[in-house]
């Protein structure tokens, strides 16, 4: 499968700082989604950005999408210890609603 | 959003045996998805299950190894057959939301010894 790449693979910051994660993909997309996974449990949907959108906000989350560069970024502002998790981008690039997940970024927020 | 439960939450199995994982949704959904997440890795789609039709498998996954049932719009099972240690993974089911997002179950952590 054409899995995307995420960087960094791991990120450790202090509580209160901002965290930025990047995602690159290979094919044209309908939309790109970000998910959070705590400690190997189920994934939680965070935000979806469509291919014709460039930026989207949800609370402390800001997502950008650059389809010309086939890349997206997720910014978490004013990080909290509870934000410690793995974050995955996923692309929806077909009519069958199949998601292709990136490799993920493991985020650690230090108190 | 949909609420999804999976059973069992974890299991330790002997090689050569089979395990059936159940996925229950609190509302009727059209599409259900089964993913595998190998240790320290990302998610890989195993198959898509629609009620009333055969599951559609992704490249590298076959029905004999991962048979799937979808008897109604709220329930599905995935069986991992003739298990080997390489099948040790987290298995997750998900359903489609109204806006093309997916909602995931809590996962089944499988260890094969």
Q: Tell me: the pLDDT tens digits for A30-88?
A: 999 999 999 878 899 999 999 999 999 999 999 999 999 999 999 999 999 999 999 99
Contact with chain A for residue B7, Cβ under 8 A: no
Nearest Cα neighbor of B23 from B80, B86, B70, B85 is: B70
B26: left (phi over 0), alpha (psi -120 to 50) or beta: alpha
Distance in angstroms between the alpha carbons of the first and the last residue of chain B: 37
Q: Contacts of residue A90 in chain B, CB cutoff 8 Å? A: 43
Q: Which one-letter DSSP state was computed for residue A16? A: T
3-state secondary structure chain B: CCCEEEECCEEEECCCCCEEEEEEECCCCCEEEEEEECCCCCEEEEEEEECCCCCEECCCCCCCCCCEEEEECCEEEEEECCCCHHHCEEEEEEEECCCCCEEECCCEEEEEC
pLDDT reading at A1 higher than 50: no
Chain B 35-94, CB below 8 Å of chain A: which residues? Answer: 37, 41-45, 48, 58-59, 90, 92, 94
Confidence of residue A2 (pLDDT cuts 50, 70, 90): very low
The pLDDT of residue A4 is above 80: no
Mutate to test the interface with B, among A21, A101, A106 (most CBs of B within 10 A): A101
Q: Tell me A31's DSSP state.
A: E
Q: With contacts defined as CB-CB under 8 Å, which chain B residues touch A103?
A: 41-42
What per-residue confidence (pLDDT) applies to B1?
Answer: 79
CB–CB contact B42 A43 (8 Å): no
CB contacts of B31 in chain A (<8 Å) are 97
**Does residue A30 contact residue A107 with C-beta atoms inside 8 Å?**
no
Q: Give the model's pLDDT for residue A94.
A: 65
Q: What is the pLDDT of residues B7-53, one digit of tens each?
A: 999 999 999 999 999 999 999 998 899 999 999 899 999 999 988 88
Chain A residues with beta carbon closer than 8 angstroms to that of B109? 40
Per-residue pLDDT of B58-112, as tens digits, reads: 999 999 999 999 999 999 999 999 999 999 999 999 998 888 889 999 999 999 9
CB A73 within 8 A of CB A91: no
Measured in angstroms, the CA of A49 and the nearest CA of chain B are apart by 10
């Amino acid at each position: 499968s054409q899995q995307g790449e995420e960087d960094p693979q791991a990120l450790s910051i202090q509580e209160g700082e901002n965290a930025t994660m990047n995602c690159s993909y290979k094919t044209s997309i309908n939309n790109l989604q970000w998910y959070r996974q705590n400690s190997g449990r189920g994934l939680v949907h965070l935000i979806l950005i469509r291919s014709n959108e460039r930026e989207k906000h949800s609370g402390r989350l800001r997502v950008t999408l650059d389809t010309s560069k086939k890349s997206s970024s997720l910014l978490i502002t004013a990080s909290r210890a509870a934000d410690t998790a793995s974050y995955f981008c996923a692309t929806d690039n077909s009519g069958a609603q199949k998601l292709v997940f990136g490799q993920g970024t493991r985020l650690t927020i230090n108190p | 959003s949909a609420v999804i439960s999976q059973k069992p939450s974890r299991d330790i199995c002997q090689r050569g045996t089979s395990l059936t994982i159940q996925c229950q949704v609190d509302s009727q959904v059209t599409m259900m998805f089964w993913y595998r997440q190998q240790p320290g890795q990302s998610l890989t789609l195993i198959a898509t299950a629609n009620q009333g039709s055969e599951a559609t498998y992704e490249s590298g996954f076959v029905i004999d190894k991962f048979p799937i049932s979808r008897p109604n719009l709220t329930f599905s099972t995935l069986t991992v057959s003739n298990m080997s240690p390489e099948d040790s993974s987290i298995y997750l089911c998900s359903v489609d939301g109204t806006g093309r997002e997916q909602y995931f179950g809590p996962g089944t952590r499988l260890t094969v010894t």
